[in-house]
Structure 1
């Protein structure tokens, strides 16, 4: 594995880690960075390159598990989590059933339309559309967000709200729209605080991303060759480290800066990419 390949693996892992859980679309950034600059398919076959992107996504998932470890232990009834600071007296706990309800809509549509999305929607043009459309939704969410949200912590989310957020998450099947951007926006519009919506988004991300990644890896085990393995490991570690930093930083800021700054970034990025690419 030469130095250039090693650095490209780290850069792609960095892009995945920093953007997977921020509302800016990691898929969009990966397509843009890889297509416009790194062009991984020039030094890897198409299928190995695609498998690599799944591997680095697993690095990001592991970072979420680390940050929300106590929460996942609580969901599985392995360890009781202490009530969150600021939670109203008598607040219950987020239940595994609520997470599952939130996952169903996008999970079903993802299975039904996976091949169509992979074949027709993974391009720079569609990503630009998703970036702008998602930005508009985020601006609307902030404009109509409640100054005193009814749902302050993730433990106050109802089954109905979980399902509604899950329906909004279906928008993220369009590359560039962003899973976290759509679900946080949906949660805010339903009366959640930005932090509660973000927490629920990240918790839901683990099973749906892990499931999709696992199925993809099973289908592509033949591409885990000794030549490609160092490339995979470098990208995985890079994605894990930068996702860990990104998640902690984002969760500290989200209630303060909200979604508009990310929406502005998305629109500016789309305009710049359009001018450069086209």
Structure 2
């Protein structure tokens, strides 16, 4: 199979799974293994490609929520509804712990074996959230309180464990703190942009040697595909999550964990 086709397939997988509670990391591991895509002795090329296609998914959020981001950038804390302080509060717990425990996370919470465990643990969390779900006090994004934003941010700490899924952990946290699934999902999308841009920027700087002109076509194909597919996936997911139980995503995660175990571990 041509590498360009493989890049497009990887872009589709990233775009579909980045903002769903199913772990994009697990999917990229399985897909990359099946396609034997961008393998190199040190793995820098594959890592850099994954960072680039992830940026495509981030751009999708920026395009879909550009009006909301412009409103946030006014820094008007007196305006009713969601403001920049909600985002900062939500980002704070995971950002601080991510910086303090960076080496530990890289050494012990990355890799196929840990992804298998996190896929299962994340699935159990989704089932637990559905079991305790009650009528939410915050139905929309603008109803979210500072306390709820901090609570969701604390659950986002779980996403530092590779394979746990940012959207899965934060949506579960939102449910526990009385936020509707749709509002928690949208809050996750908004929080993910600065976090993912920062993390991607650091990874690109570390692996800049893997950025070579001959790979430009592959990387751009993956980025563009991820961008388009992520836009479709976000809109579709928001419509689905209002009427679909998170338990189904949990079962899917269990199946994916088995695949990662059989194919990679």
TM-score tier, shorter chain, comes to over 0.9
Matched, 1:27 2:15: no
Match of 1:139 in 2: 127
Distance in 2 of aligned mates of 1:160 and 1:66: 28
In 1, Cα distance between equivalents of 2:39 and 2:58: 27
Aligned pairs for 1:65-84 within 5 A: 65-77=62-74
Q: 2:91 aligns with which of 85, 96, 103?
A: 103
In structure 1, the residue matched to 2:106 is: 118
Contact between 1:19 and 1:29, CA under 8 Å: does it hold in 2?
yes
Q: Normalization by structure 2: what TM-score? A: 0.92
Q: In the alignment, which residue of structure 1 is the partner of 2:142?
A: 155
Q: Structure 2: give runs of 5+ residues left out of the alignment.
A: none
Asked whether the 8 Å contact 1:31–1:123 carries over to 2, the reply is no
What root-mean-square deviation, in Å, do the aligned CA atoms of Structure 1 and Structure 2 show?
2.0
* 1:166 paired residue among 139, 143, 153: 153
8 Å contact kept, 2:51–2:204: yes
- Unaligned runs of 5+ residues in structure 1 are 80-90
Number of the residue aligned with 1:49: 46
Other structure's SS at 1:65 match: helix
CA deviations 1:143-201 (Å, max 9, x no partner) are 1111x211011111111111111111000111111000000000011111111111111
**Among candidates 188, 208, 223, match of residue 210 of structure 2:** 223
Relative to structure 1, the CA distance from residue 116 to residue 228 in structure 2 (aligned partners, 3 Å threshold; closer, same or farther) is farther
- Runs ≥4 in structure 1, deviation > 6 angstroms? none
Q: Which residue of 2 aligns with 1:38?
A: 35
In 2: Cα distance, 1:78 partner to 1:161 partner: 20
2: CA distance between counterparts of 1:18 and 1:168?
Answer: 22
Q: Which moved more, 1:111-120 or 1:56-65?
A: 111-120
- Structure 1 residue 41: deviation in Å? 4.3
Length, aligned pairs only: 263
1:18 paired residue number = 16
Distance 1:149 1:134 in 2: 22
* Per-residue Cα deviation, 1:231-274 (whole angstroms, up to 9, x for no partner): 11011011111111110100111111031111111112223443
- The 2-side partners of 1:271 and 1:223 are apart by 31
Helix, strand or coil for the counterpart of 1:256? coil
- Give the structure 2 partner of residue 253 of structure 1: 240
Report the Cα offset of residue 93 of structure 1: 1.4
Does the Cα contact within 8 Å between 2:39 and 2:45 map onto a contact in 1? no
Closer, same or farther: CA 245–208 of 1 in aligned 2, 3 Å: same
- 2:124 & 2:173 partners in 1: Cα distance? 12
